[in-house]
Amino acid sequence: MKDYETFDLGDTNLLSGEILKSAKLTYKTYGNLNKNSDNVIVLPTFYTGTHNRNEGFFGSGRAIDPNKHFVVSINMFGNGLSSSPSNSENLQDGPRFPDITLWDNINCQQKLLTQKLKITKIALVTGWSMAGCQAYQWAAQFPDMVKSILPFCASAKTSIHNHVFFRRC
């Protein structure tokens, strides 16, 4: 039994000019949206992470508390749950999977929040490593929607020695 929801984006235009066919974002929410809709915390996943692994970053009585906050944990493209080389149609599987940027991830995450969850304001975007990079991208791409970011163990620009993680073999 799956413990997440899926948002179907349909065919999605990417920053590269390519199209991600039948794009899907998986996500899980924790807590409840309050009356003023001002308690939203977005917690994207990190490289190789899933929403389950994000659960270590929040909890009852902690700084991010689902009893007070509406936490939206979004699985980034390529992590095996959202659209990825391993689960895409045969014309975009494996090495034929299109190049996805942080811009593409955040653009689609914003559609999930606004179209599916009807959220227009985010109190905080936070995350570790590549999720922190997504927090920076959220603030740059949608500054009127994001009140605060808290990236940790992340950088606004990927250093050259980290490019080894992104090279295709």
Nearest C-alpha neighbor of 57 from the set 131, 133, 144 = 131
pTM of the shown model: 0.92
As a whole number of angstroms, the distance between CA 140 and CA 130 comes to 15
pLDDT in tens, 78-129: 999 999 999 998 899 999 999 999 999 999 999 999 999 999 999 999 999 9
Place of tokens 């909890």: 59
In the chain, the domains with their CATH numbers are 5-165 (3.40.50.1820)
Q: From start to end of the chain, where are the E strands? A: 5-13, 19-30, 40-44, 70-74, 124-128, 149-152
